[in-house]
Structure 1
Amino acid sequence: MKLDILAIGAHPDDVELSCAGTIAKEIANGKKVGIIDLTRGELGTRGTAETRDAEAAEAAKILGVSVRVNLGFADGFFMNDKAHQLKIIEVIRKFQPEIVLCNAVSDRHIDHGKGSKLVSDACFLSGLLKIETTCTSSNTLQAPWRPKHVYHYIQWHYLKPDFVVDITGFMDKKMAAVFAYKTQFYNPDSQEPQTPISTKNFTDSVRYRAQDFGRIVGVDFAEGYTVERYPAVESLFNLK
């Protein structure tokens, strides 16, 4: 299955919190989108790896993505090394995305910046002919594939975006996907320990950030991204 966009997150819920509006909009526009979770989020204070699996599946259903895969890397301890890069190269070559969305380049959680660099490096290496990988299902050699663009979404820390995507009309679907993670986020009836992301202030901030990015560009809601190279447009009149 060839995908137009592959969104990759260090943990289940990274994608939903950061770029679910963009994903929902592109799917509505007929694009094929997949999600790759690097870990099962097993070190999370609230819930378990099993509940996170179920929540991720529900979020994927809400968004309507074509595929969601978990690579089972060790939460908190995965490395940007050859073994991990090759696993990501395999999925990039399998799904051949035009665009990859991945973690923030710098953030509060150590896995976010680490995951950002790991995915970015794998996207580059995936285009090299002399790196050989095999399709697991068919045991055939995979062809090289390098995505045209790698964009980094914004997470806990405020990072100045290089561009924003208007997600007006898709904010409710984004929040529905976020709240699919019932054990993770604000629930006044929960008996689980409180964490920085389980407060009402945090989930309110997800909506507020999208609203603030939207305000700046004159729309209701937007999601921000940073880039590795300058984006180009055909004409000044293509800019919103």
Structure 2
Amino acid sequence: MKTDILAFGAHPDDVELGCGGTIVKMISEGKTCAIIDLTKGELGTRGTEETRRNEAMDSAKILGVVARENLGMKDGFLENSEEYQMRIVEMVRKYRPEIVLANAIDDRHPDHAKGAKLVSDACFLAGLRKIETILEGEHQEVWRPKHIFHYIQWKNIEPEFVIDISDHLDKKIEACMAFKTQFYDPTSQEPETPITSKDFYESLTYRAQDLGRLSGVTYAEGFTSEKLIAMKNFDGIVW
């Protein structure tokens, strides 16, 4: 299955929070996107593995992605091991993306930075011909994405570029709030966490609005890049 974009998240909902608007925009422009969740988020204070799985699939439908898979790695204990790298190599070779979106390079949750490095290293390994993988009984061809971009999560990392999501913020928030057990719900009887507050819910808008203010659009999502980006010309820049 060839996709244009493959988005990885250490936990279900990471992708929605970090780059949900970008995914919706790219799909609206005819691109294809799939999501790979590394863990089931089983250590989350609220919800269960089952509720988060159902929420992830509901969100996937809202975003319009062609596929969503969960690799079942150990929540809270991600490591840059050969075992985990090879499972991501299989996904990269399966979906053959031009662009990979991955967790923030530094963040409050340790799984985020670990996931960022894990995905980055696996993308490199996926392009090595002497590493052989077999998925569903078939030998996979090598594949290395052209770009790896890291979205921004809890910490205010300075982006190296932003994507204008002015027409897609509402859909991003809808996809995030599909994770009903995880975010703001004044009727919930479960314990409060940093992401269940009303302020965090409102931050989905005001952080996008602030990046938009700085870049001359209404709402934006920010990214960092692993390599210097070359532009063919000035087309595509928001003036």
The DSSP-based 3-state class of the residue aligned with 1:225 is strand
Q: Where do residues 42-191 of structure 1 align in structure 2 (5 Å cutoff)?
A: 42-136=42-136, 139-191=137-189
The DSSP-based 3-state class of the residue aligned with 2:221 is strand
| 1:13-67 deviations in Å (ceiling 9; x for gaps) | 0000010000000000011100000000000001111100000000000011000
Could you say if the C-alpha distance between residues 124 and 44 of structure 1 is closer, same or farther in structure 2, counting changes exceeding 3 Å? same
- Residue segments in structure 2 that go unaligned for 5+ positions in a row: none
Q: Letter of the aligned partner of 1:191 in structure 2?
A: Q
RMSD: 0.8
Q: Letter of the aligned partner of 1:81 in structure 2?
A: S
| 1:111-167 deviations in Å (ceiling 9; x for gaps) | 00000000000001100000110022xx12111100000000000000000000000
Shift of 1:90: 0.2
- Residue segments in structure 1 that go unaligned for 5+ positions in a row: none
Shift of 1:102: 0.3
In structure 1, C-alpha distance between the alignment counterparts of 2:94 and 2:173, rounded to whole Å: 30
Percent of residue pairs bearing the same amino acid type: 59
| 1:54-97 deviations in Å (ceiling 9; x for gaps) | 00000000011000000000101121110000000001001100
Shift of 1:226: 0.3
The DSSP-based 3-state class of the residue aligned with 1:204 is helix
Q: How many residues align structurally?
A: 238
In structure 1, C-alpha distance between the alignment counterparts of 2:126 and 2:25, rounded to whole Å: 27
In structure 2, C-alpha distance between the alignment counterparts of 1:84 and 1:65, rounded to whole Å: 24
1:22 equivalent in alignment to 2:22: yes
Shift of 1:207: 1.1
The DSSP-based 3-state class of the residue aligned with 2:163 is strand
Match of 1:6 in 2: 6
In structure 2, C-alpha distance between the alignment counterparts of 1:237 and 1:6, rounded to whole Å: 24
Equivalent of 1:210 in 208, 212, 222:
208
TM-score by structure 2 length?
0.98
